Amino acid sequence: MQITLETKPFASLETDALVSYVFEETDPIQGRIAEVDRSAGGLLRKLAKSGELTAKTLEFTLVHSPSGLQAARLLLVGAGKREQFNSATLRKVAGAALRYLKSRSVKNFALLVREGGATEESAQVIAEGALVADFESDKYKTDKKNDKKIDFVSIVGYSDTERAAAEKSLSKGRIIAESQNFTRDLVNEPSNKLTPRILAEKAGAMAKSAGLSVEILDERKIADLKMGALLSVAQGSIEPPRMIVITYNPPSAKPGAPVIGLVGKAVTFDTGGISIKPADGMEKMKYDMAGGATMIGVMRALAALKPNVKVICVVPSTENMPGGHAQKPGDIQTAMSGKTIEVLNTDAEGRLILADGVHYAKQLGATHLIDAATLTGAIVVALAGINVGVFGSDQPFTDKFLASAKATGEKMWQMPIDEDYREFIKGTVADIQNISSGKGGGAITGAMFIKEFTGDTPWIHLDIAGTAWNDDAKPWLAKGPTGVALRTLVNLVMSY
């Protein structure tokens, strides 16, 4: 899909649809919408007075063949209260408009930004919203509606003097959105099409094409490095594990900048192992590699955006299967760090592979760590599918991360990680155990387990179990994988 900036007057644009957004207020026909209304002969004010144009968030008003406009249609999208409007809302407006028009076989449209809205940030978020909204989870359907496709989007309302800077931001938005969709495409793959080996191949191909350094550790190298926690999860499957390492080395590193270590859980299918999951809903466990896919997508974006900070991405990948060689509840494993683990539940496997992942990232030189994982059902109980659970060992680092989340419109909520919770995973026959002994706080104890392997290194854990997959389509987003946290992570790295 092509996205461009257009500086022509909106009334003269020959397009399938002219789109803009209206605010929920006493008189919604103000500013540029008043200009559109004058061009349309006062039609919009009549619709507002009749109650048909409400401007409630993401409500649509579609007008065919509007007089005074060259556009075949005029679509107004509700943007809610003006005082609550921000870039996150604009991103959703762009995405919702695209999906609404796409479902009606529209091929192209122009989005008119409101007065004062022709900023660099607006160009970026409109591009992000449109491109992310255009993703569909129907790759394997044979009866796709191929005629329903948006080919071209133009962003209107910028002057010639504003255009150059806005085009750079639009390009940045495209890079981020396409990387988010790359992540979503990985997450959407069924486990028979995406084993650990295939994930490693795809990650390696992306890294090489993007100019990133890549190393894929096979099962022999993993064993040589004594990554016992990763191997313990992998031993039940005929599919061998992989440890994916992708490195971005900046052309000129900023003095004093940290080395960011991004670690992502990539269990390409999770049955729960011997502690097997219920059959109902198990098919969704193909998405248990979403954390790893997110980190790989972040690296794709960073390769193009070129921040002045080194980033090391470590993705441990395996299946968790109940085979004859599978680990059993009660087994004791030794992680790469030398710490021993009593495995009380084989379905708490993500924290095991992350234990070796974060330790290896530290060995490779990471000074600050962030891991992302579909780790616990407990985080869904706590935060539903709305917020990502954020756990941090270093408050200034965590605050900086949360500021990036706010800037990019991703909802995240900091969870407690007090030392009192460490008692919950204190081992009786090993150093630690992989679940608590029925004391609650499952999301917290999962985070505390990973923290055991981070030492004094500033570290953030993202539990994305409730937010990495949409069970129901949103007006601005298809059902399925979301690519959550990618925008925040890119923003964080770029902020250095």
pLDDT above 90 (res 411): yes
Torsion, Cα 277 279 281 287, to 10 degrees, reads: 50
Nearest Cα to 187, choosing from 461, 480, 470? 480
pLDDT above 90 (res 386): yes
Mean pLDDT across 294-321? 98
Inter-residue long-range contacts of 338-341, CB under 8 Å, 24+ positions, other chains counted: 339/431, 339/432, 339/452, 339/453, 340/427, 340/430, 340/431, 340/432, 341/229, 341/427, 341/430, 341/431, 341/432, 341/433, 341/434
Tokens for 291?
A: 């954390």
Residue 417 identity:
I
Q: Determine what percent of the chain is predicted with pLDDT higher than 90.
A: 96
Mean pLDDT across 343-356? 98
pLDDT at 257: 87
pLDDT at 252: 86
157 contacts 32 by C-beta, under 8 angstroms: yes
Q: Does residue 116 sit in helix, strand or coil?
A: coil
Q: Does residue 197 sit in helix, strand or coil?
A: helix
Q: Are strands 60-64 and 73-78 parallel, antiparallel or unpaired?
A: antiparallel
329 contacts 344 by C-beta, under 8 angstroms: yes
463's CB contacts (< 8 A; 6+ apart) are: 373, 374, 375, 376, 379, 388, 389, 391, 415, 443, 446, 447
Residue 197 falls in the annotated catalytic set: no
pLDDT above 80 (res 298): yes
pLDDT at 291: 98
pLDDT at 195: 98
Compute the distance between CA of residue 57 and CA of residue 71 in angstroms, rounded to an integer.
Answer: 24
The one catalytic residue among 277, 400, 406, 474: 277
Q: What is the overall mean pLDDT for the chain?
A: 96
Compute the distance between CA of residue 119 and CA of residue 169 in angstroms, rounded to an integer.
Answer: 9
pLDDT above 80 (res 467): yes
The one catalytic residue among 351, 362, 451, 487: 351
**Which range has the worst mean pLDDT, 96-110, 338-352, 373-387, 431-445?**
431-445
Compute the distance between CA of residue 250 and CA of residue 381 in angstroms, rounded to an integer.
Answer: 40
Whole-angstrom CA distances from 326 to 195, 274, 441 are 17, 7, 27
84's CB contacts (< 8 A; 6+ apart) are: none
Sheet of 108-112: strand order equals 2-6, 152-156, 108-112, 18-22, 73-78, 60-64
pLDDT at 254: 78
Mean pLDDT across 43-60? 95
Compute the distance between CA of residue 25 and CA of residue 83 in angstroms, rounded to an integer.
Answer: 10
pLDDT above 70 (res 396): yes
pLDDT at 146: 64
Q: Does residue 273 sit in helix, strand or coil?
A: coil
pLDDT above 80 (res 438): no
How many H-runs (helices) and E-runs (strands) does the chain carry?
14, 20
pLDDT tens by residue, 191-202: 999 999 999 999
381: enclosing H helix or E strand: helix 378-383
pLDDT above 70 (res 426): yes
pLDDT above 80 (res 12): yes
pLDDT above 70 (res 145): no
438: enclosing H helix or E strand: none
pLDDT above 80 (res 212): yes
Domain annotation for the chain: domains and CATH numbers:
2-157 (3.40.220.10), 177-495 (3.40.630.10)
Instruction: Name the pLDDT band for 255 (thresholds 50, 70, 90).
Output: confident
pLDDT at 62: 97
Compute the distance between CA of residue 150 and CA of residue 152 in angstroms, rounded to an integer.
Answer: 6
Instruction: Say what the pTM is.
Output: 0.97
Residue 422 falls in the annotated catalytic set: no
Tokens for 150?
A: 């948006």
Bridge partners (DSSP) listed for residue 77? 21, 60
Nearest Cα to 439, choosing from 451, 422, 453, 456? 422
Q: Does residue 80 sit in helix, strand or coil?
A: coil
What is the CA angle 443-446-447, rounded to 5? Answer: 90
Q: How many CB atoms lie within 10 A of CB 479?
A: 13
Tokens for 157?
A: 């309302």
Torsion, Cα 250 367 379 421, to 10 degrees, reads: 180
pLDDT above 70 (res 169): yes
pLDDT tens by residue, 60-115: 999 999 999 999 999 999 999 999 999 999 999 999 999 999 999 999 999 999 99
